[in-house]
Amino acid sequence: MASTAASAAASLTAGTPTVSSDIPTGGTTTGGTAVRVRGFTRSFGDVTVLRDLDLDIAPGEFVALLGRSGSGKTTLLRTLAGLDAAPAEQVSTPGARAVVFQEPRLLPWKRVWRNVTLGLKGGRGRAQAAAALEEVGLGHRVDAWPATLSGGEAQRAALARALVREPQLLLLDEPFAALDALTRLRMHQLVLSLWRAHQPAVLLVTHDVDEAIALADRILVLADGRLAVEERVTLARPREVGPEFQALRRRLLGHLGVEQPAPRDSAPLTFIPPAPPAAGIRRTWNRPAPVNGHGVPHNGANGAQTNGAQVAGGL
Ligand SMILES: Nc1ncnc2c1ncn2[C@@H]1O[C@H](COP(=O)(O)OP(=O)(O)OP(=O)(O)O)[C@@H](O)[C@H]1O
């Protein structure tokens, strides 16, 4: 990333972007780390949201942050964005940062390209915005008004606004949550291609476990004020929903406290017709006996087909 990028994160207060260069925003990282957090605690009144938290993100690394509602994900993201104050010795980030929120936060009275360059000092203005808009597939909407954009287009304009800042750290706070499923998938592809092209470190806050697995190199779960879980995602991109994906999903959902149905046998339930029922005996559903390598069903030591291990109650 070029060092000429705007160093201030775009901060949004009541929908109005401002530049947050006048508040203490932590230290600046150099060399091999994009984000370095050590022993950071954040409280609101009596409530401690982040507690003695440590975090490292490498340059160009894509990290997803999961956690229950209210666990402090946005609080951490705002701190890294420089929107909330933090001691420099505890929080270090690159100077060039950009944030994309769940809502695109475009100013309706400014054309799209002016929204994209908002707060940028110097630069090539319209040409710079047009290039970024082209990259996100909005080259034809440079002069449009925000109100004429679809939800997905508006969010792409927000990505373009992040892009022109040439961030070394891109912070994404549930940026796809308000989009329909198809648009969200397209946005995933777009974010991955922008990430590959520009190689910022990324922190993506999301509630969507599948999204985290599809995009990230590493997934963190925030709980009780700390990063309680770390999972590295070693699946090759693009990531198919195969057994490894599903196993990771199950683990992450477990960490998030989501009740998991017990893993089932891959064999479907089949109805085994009973012998003519004697009085008082009910029909049962049963799984087919596991088949050994020779195609022979084996049940227990003697390998006899049994009809006695009921999986579900009678009909
Ligand atoms: N400015 C604030 N003043 C008081 N409390 C706050 C403030 N900002 C956040 N909190 C509280 O801190 C806790 C963490 O909030 P935060 O928004 O970081 O959680 P989150 O994990 O992002 O939640 P969600 O997933 O629901 O968006 C919440 O209990 C919230 O009410």
CATH number for the domain harbouring residue 37 = 3.40.50.300
Last residue of a domain, one of 255, 281, 302: 255
Locate all alpha helices (DSSP H) within 145-284, ordered by sequence. 151-163, 181-198, 209-215, 243-255
Which numbered atom of ligand 1 lies nearest the CA of 205?
Answer: 22
Please give the pLDDT value at position 130. 96
DSSP structure class, residue 143? T
Q: Establish if 158 belongs to a structural domain.
A: yes
- Residues 157 and 37 occupy one common structural domain: yes
Angle at CA 99, nearest 5°, toward 98 and 101? 165
- Residues 165 and 298 occupy one common structural domain: no
Please tell me the distance from the alpha carbon of residue 179 to that of residue 136, in angstroms, as a whole number.
16
Q: Helices 151-163 and 126-135: crossing angle, nearest 10°?
A: 120
- Residues 24 and 128 occupy one common structural domain: yes
Q: Establish if 261 belongs to a structural domain.
A: no
What end-to-end distance do the CA atoms of the chain give, in Å?
A: 65
Report pLDDT digits (tens) over 248-275.
999 999 999 997 766 655 444 444 444 5
- Residues 83 and 144 occupy one common structural domain: yes
Please give the pLDDT value at position 278. 47
pTM above 0.80, yes or no: no
Please tell me the distance from the alpha carbon of residue 76 to that of residue 30, in angstroms, as a whole number.
20
State the sign of the Cα–Cα–Cα–Cα dihedral 98, 104, 107, 109.
positive
**Per mean pLDDT, which range of 60-64, 122-126, 187-191 is the poorest?**
122-126
Q: Establish if 260 belongs to a structural domain.
A: no
How far does the centroid of ligand 1 lie from the alpha carbon of residue 232, in Å? Answer: 26
- By most ligand atoms within 8 Å of CB, the mutation choice from 73, 211, 220, 256 for ligand 1 is 73
How far does the centroid of ligand 1 lie from the alpha carbon of residue 75, in Å? Answer: 6
Q: Establish if 3 belongs to a structural domain.
A: no
Query: Average pLDDT, stretch 148-155?
Result: 96
- Residues 217 and 307 occupy one common structural domain: no
- Residues 294 and 191 occupy one common structural domain: no
- Residues 271 and 141 occupy one common structural domain: no
Q: Establish if 212 belongs to a structural domain.
A: yes
Q: Radius of gyration over alpha carbons of the chain, in Å? A: 26
- Residues 290 and 146 occupy one common structural domain: no
Asked casually if ipTM beats, i.e. exceeds, 0.85, the reply is: yes
Please give the pLDDT value at position 27. 77
- Residues 55 and 179 occupy one common structural domain: yes
How far does the centroid of ligand 1 lie from the alpha carbon of residue 236, in Å? Answer: 34
- Residues 155 and 287 occupy one common structural domain: no
* Tally of domains in the chain: 2
The two tokens of residue 70 are 């209210």
Please give the pLDDT value at position 30. 65
- Residues 129 and 25 occupy one common structural domain: yes
- Residues 147 and 238 occupy one common structural domain: yes
Is residue 35 over pLDDT 90? yes
Q: Which residue range forms the structural domain that includes residue 306?
A: 266-315
